[in-house]
Amino acid sequence: MALFEAGPAVHGYTDQRWTPARITELICAWFGVRFHSSGALHEMLT
């Protein structure tokens, strides 16, 4: 979770909104795993 707690701006986004697409991109960039956006969001919330 620390990866996301820093906020989107730390990862180069201009605002502080985490969208499903941004979550998916970040997971892929850091872990090399591609999730469907709804699946990634579900994993974040559970």
Question: pLDDT for 7-34, tens place per residue?
Answer: 999 999 999 999 888 988 888 898 898 7
When divided into structural domains, the chain yields a total of 1
CA-to-CA distance for 42 and 45, rounded, in angstroms? 5
Does residue 37 sit within a domain?
Answer: yes
- How far apart are alpha carbons 41 and 44 in whole angstroms? 5
pLDDT for 13: 93
In a domain, 13, yes or no: no
- Residue 12 domain-assigned (yes or no): no
**CA-to-CA separations, 19 to 6, 16, in angstroms, rounded:** 15, 10
Between 40 and 25, the more confident residue is 25
Range of the domain at 43: 18-46
Check residues 39 and 29 and name the one with the higher pLDDT.
29
Give the model's pLDDT for residue 9: 92
**From CA 45, how far away is CA 20, in angstroms rounded?**
11
Q: Inform me whether the pLDDT recorded for 46 exceeds 70.
A: no
What local confidence, expressed as pLDDT, does residue 21 receive?
Answer: 86
